[in-house]
Amino acid sequence: MQIKYFANINRKWINTIIKIIIVLVSFLYIYKQLFTDNKLNLVYNHLQNVQSVYVIEFILFTIFLMFVNWFIEAVKWRYLIRKVENITMLKSVFAVFAGVSISIFTPNRIGEYGGRIFVLRAKESRIKAILITILGSLSQQLITIIVAGFFIPFFAYIYMDIDLNILKIGVLIDVIVLFCLIYAFFNINKVNNYLKRFSLLIKYTSVFERYSFKELFNVLILSLIRYGIFIFQYYIVLVFFGLNISIVDSLMMVSILFFIMSVIPTIALFEIGVKGSVALFIFSYSFTDIDSIAKSAIIFSTVFIWIINLAIPAIMGWLTLLSFNFITNSKALSK
């Protein structure tokens, strides 16, 4: 009885320590991102210099779009995770924000895969939940690739001096790659056919067999809606910060930016800097002589969107982490 009592005490302490470490690391990362080179002050000063009386309304609207975006992600994750465990919408929202808190300081935000699973009860469900979360992430990545794949040939034709025959070959390769990726996504339930020798993996990857074509299509639609909100949010921020750009050019540039950022390895500590540099490189094609105003608009937009879409949700995620138990007893895990 005493052993069980002390074991429970130890679990509580371990859970508390893990929560403190996650919140502390997340806080230090956000602090470093925002206060290194006075990024937060520069964005604040830039907002004050914007020639508009609707600054507060603009900030509130971008925050509203952030909430809509993450809510759709919570809907998508709950829709996917129901194959292993039914959870409430509120629990799904908690899981998503907690995932942001953990993922924000990991390379390419891979911590998100494991950050959500602690709202689930059973150990086996948690392992499958990581694979399901990866599936949801793949659906978002597929949309990113499809949209960028559509715009890259136009970008190359308009802004780059590429031979037309080479461009035609590039378009053909583009179409073939997109077709293969779409086919692979909708046939992910056949993944076990290639893992017959790995019985331990099949035990968990078998969860993919539970998803029909219609369900995967619905997940892809939710990912497309999220992507549309991302693009629209980025466009209004760019324009509000003083960049003179059409919505079509913005859609083209931002879609390519999202694609590049999704495929290059990014160390968390340099994420804003890398994204800002890539954004400047891409948008420079749209301007024959990119001036300081345009550069400022692009850089400040990148920092501002990072604050709205990642820093604020990560801070909210700290509160949801308080309800998580990272270490549980064996009985709880076997349920």
Q: Got the DSSP string for 220-251?
A: HHHHHHHHHHHHHHHHHHHHHTT----HHHHH
Stretch among 110-114, 132-136, 175-179, 308-312 having the lowest mean pLDDT = 110-114
116 contacts 97 by C-beta, under 8 angstroms:
no
Domain that holds residue 43: 2-333
Residue 222: how many other CB atoms lie within 10 Å: 21
pTM of the model: 0.85
Interatomic CA distance for residues 99 and 324, integer angstroms: 12
Q: Average per-residue pLDDT in the chain?
A: 83
CA distances from 257 to 10, 224, 283, 316 (A): 46, 16, 9, 27
Number of domains in the chain: 1
Average pLDDT, integer, range 237-252: 89
Q: What is the pLDDT of residues 20-49, one digit of tens each?
A: 777 787 778 777 777 776 677 777 776 767
Stretch among 37-46, 130-139, 297-306, 324-333 having the lowest mean pLDDT = 324-333
Stretch among 14-18, 63-67, 228-232 having the lowest mean pLDDT = 14-18
Q: What is the band of 326 on the pLDDT scale with cuts at 50, 70, 90?
A: low
Phi, psi of 228 (to 5 degrees): -60, -40
Q: What pLDDT, on the 0 to 100 scale, is given for residue 331?
A: 44
CA distances from 241 to 60, 234, 300 (A): 15, 11, 8
Interatomic CA distance for residues 185 and 291, integer angstroms: 42
